[in-house]
Structure formats: C-alpha cells, structure tokens
C-alpha cells in the first residue's frame, strides 16, 4: 500500500483555493467526554482530531498514568466500543517539548523531550505540536529565549520524530506521516487571569518565528521537512480565566491575519478557544485560525451535567446514605490533594471553594480518574438509571437536555444526558468548521 496523505493537509489545500477550512482539536483524556465526541463524529464521514498534552501523557505516564501508546489504545478502545472507525481518528500530541522537564538543565530536559516525541511518533500520532518556547533550568531567567534557540530545540525534536516515523513506516507501510505545529505563543495551561490586557501576537513576531525555523531547518538538513509544518500557534486574542472570557474580536487581529496571506502553506492554531461563541469561532476560521483547540470547556460541560444530576438525585432519593454524594466527593478529593488547583485558585476559602466547583479553568478534570470520584459517578448513574425523573425536575436542572428528551431525540439515561452536554460544545465547533451546519447555541 502506498503512502496515505495526512488528512490535515487538506486544510492547507482548501485555504489555498480560497475556502475557509478548519477543524476542532479536542484535547481531553476524560472517558465519557471522548465517548461523546466520537458519537457525535459518527454523524459525519470525515475525521476527528483528539489530542493529549505532554503533562497528561508522556513516557513517565503524566498525570493520567498513560504513555503515548497507552493513550492511543485507550481512545481506540472507546472507539471500538461504539463502532467508530479507528482510521478516522487523528491522534495528536500537544506541547511536546521540555515543558514537563523545565526544572532540568537543557541537555537533560531535551533528552527527555526527545524520548517523549519519539514515543508519540512511534505510536502513530499524526499531528505533533513542537513546543520549545519555555525556559529550562540553565536558561537565563532574565532574558527571553531567542527565536533561534526555540527553533534549534524544535528542529532537534523534529529530527527525532522523523526518525521514529521512518521506523514505524518500515513496520507499517500504511502509516500516515505526521504534520507539525510550531510556535511559542502558548497560553498558560488551563487558562489565564484575563483581567490583564490581552496581547495579540505581533505580526513581526509571527514572521520572525517562521524565518527562524526555516533557517534552522535548512542549516540542519531538514529543509525538506518544512512541507510537513502546517500551522503556527499564535495568540489571536482569546483566553479565559476562572470567571472571565476574553472574546474574539477580529479587528484586533486584522494585521496578523493579513500577514498570514504571505504564507499560503500555513494556517494558525489557536489555543484556549474554550467558551467562545459559535459566531466568534466561525470568524476565527474565516480569518485563518484553522485549528481550534478546546479542552476545559468539554470537561466543564460534563462536570456541570454531573452536578445537575446530583441535584436531581437529592430530590429523588430521601436517604442521604443511599445517594452518590457526587459533588461532595469531588470537593473532598480536591481538598485532600490540592496540588492541581492550589497554585491557580486564589482568594478566601469561600472563593476557592467556588472556583474548585465552577471555575472555567475546570481543574477538577485532573481529579476525575480518582477511584472515589469514579465510584460516585457510577453510583449516581445507577441511582438514576430507569428512574422516573419528572420532566419538570429535568427541566429545572438540565433545560437543554429536557428539550432533547421531550422531542424524543435523547433518552433519560443519565450517561446519555451527560454526553449530550458535551454534544452542545461540539456543535459550536461544528458550526465553525462545517459548511451549512447550524448550532443550537446560535439561537440562545
């Protein structure tokens, strides 16, 4: 079998033909969210892009406990369960570089980063974000990294990824060659404090990044690989914090988007597009942000639905001992192990408690795999599966899902209700990236 073309290259081809083209990049390791994403993708005949980050998944297991091959098999197992074709899943690695190893000097940090990239490429991931934008232990903390330092480290990782793919291709001639994302305008993981002034990427900084990478690639014998670089991460003026969302304003990025026209082989990748309106997302795609990253908004929606079901359970079951106590369990687990939220959630104890439950940053997602939270969710589902939930009660806590149940589009199964909350987020991104798709959020 000959080489298959990476489907993400079609984004470039379409844009060169003057057709706005984009794809959502769903960044999550949550099982019920991935199941919902794949079920929604079954409505269409093309591919879905699912992404893991270097903190979630790496050679040491990340916070999920999974290595790249493990995450691949995890997603595939969910796909097999619901009958979604594996070959329509584009697996991606985000922030692949020294980010998890910043406390180490460059030599050690980069050796770890190389092994991580090697494992992602060897496992068949076909979209790789080479992110070398962060300082490591022996970088001068008083000076920003130069474009050429960032590009040099990125080129080292590119070489490792290419070598790993060549080995994979020998074993599997049908293996698809990865495409690469570069760029250093990467927001703080999980959201920022957007009260500060939002700084859109300077057009000259974008040009400098591209120039540095091209020159370093040429110097290191990688000039031929430039054709596999399809996007540059930029800050298009979108971000979110605990309670604030900086909405997209295309007038703020006009100069940046105009500069992209000089590089027909590239598109932009936008991070932290969570919580943007469907109209804003569509405008981003029209303006050249062809890859729309979304993560916390997906688990936020699932968490919101689980909390709503917990309130319904409290109304339905009088005996507290028989309830799942899902909300209280999440709070207890987060308090006992504060490392994933303590640096991010500030304020009084009450303010911190509200953020643990309701922050847009949704750092509760780090705790979902905890066995106690998982057990509480399964008990919540068991308590409500087959229960005669009054329609008025469903309307009180889950008004959008009420409409689906009323119209016989959606079952009253609690798991289905949670997945429908994720579907609503998916539909906003489908509206932005699929011609003639109408999102219900447009009418809210």
Domains and CATH numbers, the chain: 9-294 (3.20.20.70), 300-438 (1.10.400.20)
Contact status, residue 86 vs residue 76, Cβ threshold 8 Å: yes
The reported pLDDT for the residue numbered 139 is 95
Mean pLDDT confidence for 92-103: 96
* pLDDT score of 444 more than 70: no
pTM: 0.94
Percentage of the chain modeled with pLDDT above 70: 95
The reported pLDDT for the residue numbered 366 is 95
* pLDDT score of 216 more than 70: yes
Handedness of CA 94, 95, 98, 100 (dihedral sign): negative
The reported pLDDT for the residue numbered 3 is 66
The reported pLDDT for the residue numbered 46 is 84
Contact status, residue 101 vs residue 136, Cβ threshold 8 Å: yes
Mean pLDDT confidence for 224-234: 97
Q: What is the pLDDT of residues 324-354, one digit of tens each?
A: 999 999 999 999 999 999 999 999 999 999 9
Mean pLDDT confidence for 381-394: 97
Give dist(CA 275, CA 294) in Å, integer. 9
**pLDDT classification of 437: cutoffs 50, 70, 90:** confident
Mean pLDDT confidence for 303-313: 98
Token reading at 70: 């493990």
* pLDDT score of 395 more than 90: yes
Mean pLDDT confidence for 4-30: 95
* pLDDT score of 151 more than 90: yes
Give dist(CA 171, CA 211) in Å, integer. 35
Q: What is the mean pLDDT of the chain?
A: 94
Token pair 């104890």 in the structure block, residue:
349
* pLDDT score of 191 more than 50: no
* pLDDT score of 36 more than 80: yes
In this structure, of 190-204, 302-316, 391-405, the range with the lowest mean pLDDT score is 190-204
If one counts every other C-beta atom within 10 angstroms of the C-beta of residue 391, the result is: 12
The reported pLDDT for the residue numbered 190 is 45
The reported pLDDT for the residue numbered 126 is 98
Contact status, residue 336 vs residue 372, Cβ threshold 8 Å: no
The reported pLDDT for the residue numbered 185 is 64
Kindly report the length of the chain.
Answer: 444
In this structure, of 131-135, 184-188, 395-399, the range with the lowest mean pLDDT score is 184-188
The reported pLDDT for the residue numbered 6 is 96
* pLDDT score of 359 more than 90: yes
* pLDDT score of 271 more than 60: yes
The reported pLDDT for the residue numbered 1 is 41
Query: CA of 213: how far to CAs of 86, 156, 217, 278, 384, in Å?
Result: 33, 11, 6, 33, 55
């Amino acid at each position: 079998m000959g080489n298959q073309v990476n489907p993400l290259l079609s984004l470039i081809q379409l844009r060169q033909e003057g057709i706005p083209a984009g794809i959502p990049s769903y960044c999550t390791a949550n099982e019920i969210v991935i199941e919902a994403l794949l079920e929604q993708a079954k409505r269409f005949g093309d591919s879905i892009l699912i992404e893991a980050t270097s903190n979630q998944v790496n050679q040491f297991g990340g916070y999920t406990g999974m290595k790249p091959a493990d995450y691949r098999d995890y997603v595939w197992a969910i796909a097999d369960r619901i009958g979604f074709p594996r070959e329509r899943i584009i697996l991606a690695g985000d922030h692949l570089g020294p980010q998890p190893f910043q406390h180490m000097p460059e030599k050690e940090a980069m050796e770890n980063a190389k092994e991580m990239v090697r494992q992602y490429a060897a496992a068949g991931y076909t979209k790789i974000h080479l992110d070398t934008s962060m300082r490591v232990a022996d970088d001068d903390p008083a000076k920003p990294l130069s474009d050429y330092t960032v590009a040099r480290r990125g080129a080292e990782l590119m070489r490792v990824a290419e070598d790993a793919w060549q080995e994979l291709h020998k074993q599997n001639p049908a293996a698809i060659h990865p495409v690469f994302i570069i760029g250093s305008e990467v927001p703080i993981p999980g959201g920022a404090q957007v009260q500060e002034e939002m700084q859109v990427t300077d057009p000259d900084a974008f040009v400098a990044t591209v120039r540095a990478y091209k020159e370093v690639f040429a110097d290191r014998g990688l000039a031929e690989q430039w054709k596999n670089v399809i996007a540059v991460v930029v800050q298009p003026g979108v971000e979110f914090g605990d309670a604030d969302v900086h909405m997209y304003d295309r007038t703020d990025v006009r100069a940046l988007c105009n500069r992209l026209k000089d590089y027909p082989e590239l598109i932009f990748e936008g991070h932290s597009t969570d919580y943007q309106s469907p109209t804003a997302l569509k405008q981003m795609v029209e303006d050249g942000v062809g890859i729309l990253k979304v993560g916390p908004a997906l688990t936020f929606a699932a968490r919101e639905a689980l909390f709503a079901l917990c309130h319904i359970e409290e109304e339905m079951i009088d005996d507290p001992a028989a309830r799942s106590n899902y909300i209280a369990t999440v709070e207890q687990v987060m308090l006992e192990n504060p490392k994933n939220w303590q640096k991010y959630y500030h304020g009084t104890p009450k303010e911190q408690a509200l953020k643990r439950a309701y922050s847009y940053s949704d750092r509760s997602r780090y705790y979902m795999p905890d066995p106690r939270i998982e057990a509480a969710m399964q008990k919540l589902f068991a308590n409500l599966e087959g229960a005669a939930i009054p329609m008025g009660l469903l309307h009180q806590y889950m008004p959008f899902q009420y409409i689906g149940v009323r119209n016989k589009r959606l079952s009253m199964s609690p798991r289905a209700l949670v997945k429908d909350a994720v579907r609503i987020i998916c539909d906003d991104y489908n509206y932005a990236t699929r011609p003639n798709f109408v999102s219900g959020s447009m009418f809210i």
